[in-house]
Amino acid sequence: MPQFSKGIARMTAPRPVCFVVFLLCLGALPAFAADLTVERLFAAPDLSGPTLRGAAFTPDGKRITYLRAKSDAKDVYDLWAYDIGSRRHALLVDSSRLATAGQALSAEEEARRERQRTSSLGGIVEYDLSADGRHILIPLGGDLYLYDLGAPAGRAVRRLTETAAYETDAKFSPRGRYVSFVRDQNLHAIELASGREIALTTGGGGLVSYGMAEFIAQEEMNRNTGYWWSPDEAYIAYARVDESAVAEVERFEIYADRIAVVKQRYPATGARNAEVQLHVAPLGGGAAVQVDLGANPDIYLARVKWFPDSSALAVQRQSRDQKTLTLLKADPASGIARTLLEEHSDTWVDIVDDFVFVSDRGDFLWGSSRSGFQHLYLYAPDGTLRHAVTSGEWMVTAEDRGDSLRAIRGVDRARGLVYFIANLASPIERQLYVTSWRRPGEPRRVSQQAGWHTVRMSPDARYYLDTWSDSEHPPTVTLRNVDGRARDVLVANALDAAHPYAPYLDSHQPAQFGTLEASDGQTLYYQLTLPKGLQPGKRYPVIVEVYGGPSVLGRVRNAWGNLYREYLAQSGYVVFTLDNRGTAFRGMKFDTAAWHHLGSVEVEDQVRGVEFLRTLPFVDPARIGIWGWSYGGYMTLMCMTQAPGHFAAGVAGAPVTDFRLYDTHYTERYMGTPAENPAGYEAASVMTHAEGLAGPLLVMHGMADDNVLFTNSTALFKRLQDLGKPFDVMVYPGAKHGLTRHADTGPHALSMVKRFFDEKLK
């Protein structure tokens, strides 16, 4: 068993990055002293206050549409709009008024929402805007509705479909003549002027689907659609997915009152993927053509985009080993494709979301980490590199997984400017910057407040919607001019006596941020929240909250949001989070540190964090626990088994226990295949290290998890039983991977975590 303590270099003293003083003037408020409860975290109104979900400028730039939670149901959303000219908000569609709102989700839609992390939400969870800015497409309860912003309120909603089947992935065509959607694994469109429905494909069913994103695309590639309109509406490109080659996994979804036998086509690492083809059909009639994606069918269809003049498709093809990403230019009439550019890496190449056309003839911006850090490059339409647009030891990077992984927020073609999000100021912040793509120079920072900015820019790049928070202030939403000056505050969200969080202000524990040094000299960021009522000379238990997985945004952020940490701190715990090497958006050296040997340097870094905690006078070094979900559950197990002297107790939620049980795209990106890297897979398996478990362990898992299959936990149970190791289990009938987000399972799960630590650490 590795003894990490022997290999740890001298621990550097923590360098404070941002110990934010709680700025609210508490003297002006009534005296509050309530502590948070888990039940309150899930209750309405939302403790973080109101915010705007899925905010978007209408194409004409006159309105901002958004989803807003009901006051009495924080996870059920209605459609609203803000008129920029009049500065007024208006409820457009109350989800409860549409008759089919309560219809059960189809299996396809349920899986799609689970992949998009919206399965815990209700009401209107998505919508689309027409090109003329007048109409809004609303999927609800399996049917489609059209809202006319120019019609009187009583006649504004038009129902487009009323079928027993479930319409998914609905969107407007680029010019607004059609609404397209997938039904029963086939692609359909409705011509809005006539109401005529067109079946664009007819061969879908069983193991073959048209216009749908396969499991791997949704879960691991952040591609949630399987079809793409040409800008002139002359063509529609779509994926044909054949899962025949994918191994069928028979698993049991155990519910409270029944057991469902599910036969799932699950592409486990090293095994065969679905075969995905790309076809293009002319809307005016005629046969569809297949796009030539190359001689090797064992590839990933990563992204599809049309050139602005509809003359060609731009297709990102990723090799099976993910070390090569090719941008193809394909003729829609013939399907013939040629290479525009290729990206290569000895580890992996990320799919490029920062791919934006900046001229009608096809000049484009392209994001690449070829320098070791993600930056923007300008290319000619034929794939010729013109020059780098940004550079330096920082990342052009998205705000979050959320609405988009694209860092580019807006383009001003006339002035040759690109607006983008980056972590130049700090890896734990996101700020908006601007630079010229024609004559690149040092980027100019547009946003000013330290913290986390999520930006949506108007189509003409005249102004932007700025959602800002820091660790001590919930999100405010401000409409700003492109120079950063405020035009109007849409959501002030002030922490005053009327705010939902007001009763808990006196109990609030501010976050501290700092840095440590990894064994290779790289910087590790941490966040520390101290227990309520800290008494000098007293030592407290610690809960280390971990995720730690590769290619995922770090958990250490100068942003509002994790009130469960607050709950634990108010319950008497020191709460500590450290972003270990392998966490995303820190540069390729940092990001790829665990390549081909997951569960190694990540554990080393978490141990380094514990060594730091042991130097703090208020920490009890014998009472340090660790907990996490998904990859964080895996990290909990690896820390508990590889470094048992550092962690006194652990809670592992929905953990991968053996990466041979996980899917192709994710696992092979970091580990290769089991045949290529057998020693790496063996070392990365929890079962290999299970004998080292010495402290109390709780394993939690949903019994209908279709992402990290429940088999991961049952395999661990058997291994620990064979070793005679005591452990505790909490399983959730019918629950899937995101059970902690759901109001029916989340409160119990999070309460269980605390109850376990109360028993083992207190």
For 15-24, the pLDDT digits (tens) are 444 333 333 3
* For range 241-245, the mean pLDDT: 97
Distance between CA atoms of residues 68 and 70, nearest Å? 7
- Rounded to 5°, the CA angle 547-671-714 comes to 60
Active-site choice (630, 663, 701, 713): 630
Look up residue 573 and give its two tokens: 């715990």
Mean pLDDT of 122-147: 90
Q: How far apart are the first and last CA of the chain?
A: 28
Reported for 744-747, long-range contacts at CB under 8 A and 24+ positions apart, including other chains, are 745/702, 746/41, 746/42, 746/120, 747/38, 747/39, 747/41, 747/42
- Gyration radius from the chain CA atoms: 26
Give backbone dihedrals phi and psi of 671, rounded to 5 degrees, phi first. -125, -5
Q: Where are the domains of the chain?
A: 4-26+509-761, 51-172, 179-351, 352-491
Residue 1 pLDDT > 90: no
pLDDT at 387: 98
CA–CA separation, 321 and 498 (whole Å)? 54
Mean pLDDT for 286-300 is 96
Catalytic residue among 78, 353, 591, 705: 705
- pLDDT of 26 reads 33
Pairing type for strands 135-140 and 122-123 reads unpaired
- pLDDT of 110: 67
Residue 262, both tokens: 């599910």
pLDDT surpasses 90 at 111: no
Burial readout 282-306 (b: 16 or more C-beta within 10 A, e: otherwise): ebeeeebbebbbeeeeebbbbbbbb
Q: Which of 104-118, 347-361, 381-395 has the lowest mean pLDDT?
A: 104-118
Q: Which of 370, 359, 364 is nearest to 325 (CA)?
A: 370
State the DSSP H helix or E strand holding residue 607, giving kind and residue range, or none if neither: helix 601-613
The question of whether 685 is a catalytic residue gets the answer no
631-642 helix and 601-613 helix, angle to the nearest 10 degrees: 70
Q: Assess whether pLDDT exceeds 60 at residue 236.
A: yes
Which residue, 669, 666, 737, is CA-closest to 701?
A: 737
Pairwise CA distance, residues 682 & 693, whole Å: 17
Token readout for 418 is 């690109």
Which pLDDT score is estimated for 149? 86
Give pairs for 149-154: CB < 8 Å, separation 24+.
149/58, 149/63, 149/81, 149/92
Whole-number pLDDT of residue 13: 40
Please give the backbone phi and psi of residue 217, each rounded to the nearest 5 degrees, phi first.
-60, -40
228-231 long-range Cβ contacts below 8 angstroms, 24+ apart: 228/304, 228/305, 228/306, 228/313, 229/171, 229/173, 229/174, 229/180, 229/306, 230/174, 230/306, 230/310, 230/332, 231/174, 231/175, 231/306, 231/308, 231/309, 231/310
Fold of 352-491: Neuraminidase (2.120.10)
Does residue 737 have an active-site annotation? yes
Helices (H), 309-421: none
CA distance 556 to 684: 25
CATH number for the domain whose boundaries are 4-26+509-761: 3.40.50.1820
Instruction: Compare 256 and 593 and report the one with higher pLDDT.
Output: 593
Torsion (CA) 348, 229, 116, 328 in degrees, nearest 10: 0
pLDDT in tens, 528-576: 999 999 999 999 999 999 999 998 889 999 999 899 999 999 999 999 9
Alpha carbon distance 140, 101 (integer Å): 6
pTM over cut 0.85: yes
Angle of helix 563-570 relative to helix 746-761, nearest 10 degrees? 40
Q: What is the sign of the dihedral through the CA atoms of 113, 118, 119 and 122?
A: negative
Phi, psi of 502 (to 5 degrees): -55, -45
Q: Residues 573-590: what's their mean pLDDT?
A: 96
679: left (phi over 0), alpha (psi -120 to 50) or beta: alpha
| Closest alpha carbon to 488 in 91, 83, 87 | 87
Residue 341: which H helix or E strand, with range? strand 337-344
Q: How far apart are CA 658 and CA 681, in angstroms?
A: 8
Give dist(CA 194, CA 191) in Å, integer: 6
4-26+509-761 and 179-351 in the same fold: no
Q: Does the annotation mark 706 as catalytic?
A: no
The stretch 569-586 carries a mean pLDDT of 97
| 434: Cα within 13 Å, side-chain hemisphere | 19
Tell me, what amino acid is at 459?
Answer: P
Query: Per DSSP, what are the bridge partners of residue 265?
Result: 248
Tokens of 432: 């908006």
Amino acid at 288: A
Q: What is the CATH number of domain 179-351?
A: 2.140.10.30
Mean pLDDT along residues 146-155: 87
Average pLDDT over residues 677-684: 98
Distance separating alpha carbons of residues 504 and 498, to the nearest angstrom: 12
∠ CA 31-34-39, nearest 5°, is 150
Q: To which H or E segment does residue 219 belong?
A: helix 215-220
Q: What is the pLDDT of residues 31-86, one digit of tens each?
A: 456 999 999 999 989 999 998 999 999 988 899 999 998 888 888 899 999 999 99
Rounded to 5 degrees, φ, ψ at 310 are 65, 15
**Residue 496 · residue 28 · CB < 8 Å:** no
110, 168 contact by CB (below 8 A): no
Q: Where are the beta strands (DSSP E) in 345-379?
A: 355-357, 364-368, 375-379
pLDDT of res. 104: 64
Query: Mean pLDDT across the stretch 364-387?
Result: 97
Catalytic, out of 279, 473, 701, 737: 737
Average pLDDT, the chain: 91
